[in-house]
Structure formats: structure tokens, C-alpha cells
Amino acid sequence: MINVGIVGATGYAGAELVRLLSAHPQAKVSAISSVSFQGQKISQVYPAYFKQNDMECETQGQVVEKSDVIFAALPHGLSQELAEECVSKGKAFIDLGADFRLESEDEYEQWYGGKFLDKQLHKQAVYGLPELFRENIKKGQKIIANPGCYTTCSPLAIAPAVKYGLVETKGIICDCKSGVTGAGRKPTQGNHYPELNEGFHAYKVASHRHTPEIEQTLSKLSGEKVVVTFVPHLLPVNRGILATCYADIKEGVSFEQIRQVYEEFYKDEYFVRLLPDGMNADIHNVKYSNFCDISLHHDKRANKLISCGAIDNMVKGAAGQAIQNMNIIFGLDEKTGLDIVPPAF
């Protein structure tokens, strides 16, 4: 049995970890922490967990001592020292924040305003998008940089076409929509109900912090520097990411070839469901699950590939993928604790 600790358990991603791990047959939550709710039970913060999980929020140090693996669901800038402590004590560390996602310190400073506190520590980190970098995760690294929601959905939607040179890498557009849980639990003007309800708007246009992370993944796959146009939008729903990615199909490449490549690329990926022609990826159909649904479309007039990806931003885009990474580094079947059928309605 794997002893799991969750730092930042009362945020949305942390609370989702608590929910999902309650059904994991080979892991148990041994300790949780929260700065805002220390000393309180998580069921006081989230009444849905009453009599299901009444654990008390302890200190961060207690979580580290009691656990084999620590999930950190913290804002950026707060994970580096914790990661160093965990690694020094032989603990696995899975960071749901942004501190270890970018390989370039210059980019981290530009987009997050921070520095790498220990450059050697960052070299030990592995980017945890299993469908694209599974072999790196399997190498036994102790620090996993768990991707975010946009940075999971967008690359999965376009990865096969980019990796095998079927589309032009210049001019790729990632047009994405997110449920409001992606903004976190702390209320803001933007996610206040009267502001959000019956509205729909883009935000952080051409300036969102996930931009360099998407580019980093696609650049690794293509072998050349990829620059994308990324525009996120806020949906008036709780959960879900819909990423609609546009790319110019290269001369001499047919849409049928692209579909064949996608089918081969994802044929053994349980959590990626490549939909048949005529179906559309829909956030409704992946809710509460770790699936990523992808639908492929051909704009024949403009000869563009339009690939739509849909995930639950709290599961495949956060807690579920983190557990998938835990399963890999502990040698478990990736589906363990995550084999969840989405609700039909």
C-alpha cells in the first residue's frame, strides 16, 4: 500500500486528489495539509466528504514524514523547497503546480517572475504527460512536473500531426475553453457568479502562462522550435477543457493519412479516445474521468487540420493525471484507481 500525502489538499485540485484516491486499491491518503484550514477536517471544508474522509489538515512537515509520495497542489513558487526536502528524504514528489514544468529558467522568469532555486534539482524533474513522455517517467525520477489542463489537452490534440511532420509548425492556433474551476477556489471578480453566468469571454489573450509550456512540448515532438497562438476562454461551467487546434496540412499529405497516424499513435492509449469521423469532442462526455477525447476534422477549402480535444480539467488536467503518474513510477497499471466511466447525462 502506497502512503500518499497531499499538500494543499483544500484547493480544488487537492480536493479532487482526495476524492479519486479514496477509490484507489493500492494507495491510501496518509496525511493532508492546508495553510488556510490547518487543524480543520477536510469534511468541514467540503461537506461532500462527511463520513467518507474526515482527515484533519496537518502541517506540511507531517505530510512529508508520513508519506511515500507527496502531491503538491500549490500556487507557483511554493514547490521548489518542498521538492528538495522530499527528494532528500527519498520521497517521490509530484508537483501539480508550475515550478518544474519549464526547462528554461529564462522562460520561467519571464512568465512566472521566479528563479530556479536549485538548478540540479530541476534537471531531475520529468515532465509528466504519460501519453507523450512515458519512457522518461519510467526512468525512476523522483520529481514529476504534472502538466496543467490547457497544456495537456492542446498537445494531445495536435501531437501526432506535429511529431510526424504532417502539418506546418508555423501558424498553429490553440483556441481553448475552460471551466471556471481552472481559476482555483479563491473568489475573484472574474469568477463571481453574476460576472460569469450567461457570459463567455477570452482572457489573457496572447499572454497566458501556459503558452511556453505548450510550445515546449510541441518543440520536443517536432525537433524544431514551435511557436503557437494560444487563446484561452472562460466557460460558465464548472469543469472541462475544450481545445480546438488549427494547423495547415502539408502539401501531399491527405486527411486519411493523418487519421491513420492518429489511430496508430493512440491505439494503445487507454485514456485517449480517438472518436470516429462525424463525432465531436465534448466536455460533457469526459466529465469526472481521466479520458481525453479527440475528434479530427478537415477544412478542405483551406486545407487545414482541425483537431478538437476534450478533458475534465480537474481530472486529466490535474489530479487524475497526477495519479496516473504515481501509478507509473510505482509500477502499477496506469488505470488503477482511474477506471471511471463518465456520466451519460
C-alpha cell at 309: 480535444
Length in residues, the chain = 345
Q: What are phi and psi of 197, to 5 degrees?
A: -60, 135
Distances (CA, A) of 218 to 43, 107, 109, 307: 41, 16, 21, 15
Residue type, 45: V
86 is known as an active-site residue? no
Residues 233, 179 contacting (CB under 8 angstroms): no
Mention every residue, 6+ apart, whose C-beta is less than 8 A from residue 288. Answer: 239, 312, 315, 340, 342, 343
Q: Which residue has the cell 534539482?
A: 121
SS3 269: coil
Catalytic entry in 57, 149, 174, 308: 149
Closest CA to 159 of 279, 270, 309, 271: 309
Q: Roughly how many angstroms between the first and final C-alpha of the chain, as a whole number?
A: 34
Separation of alpha carbons 157 and 319, rounded Å: 20
Catalytic machinery residues: 149
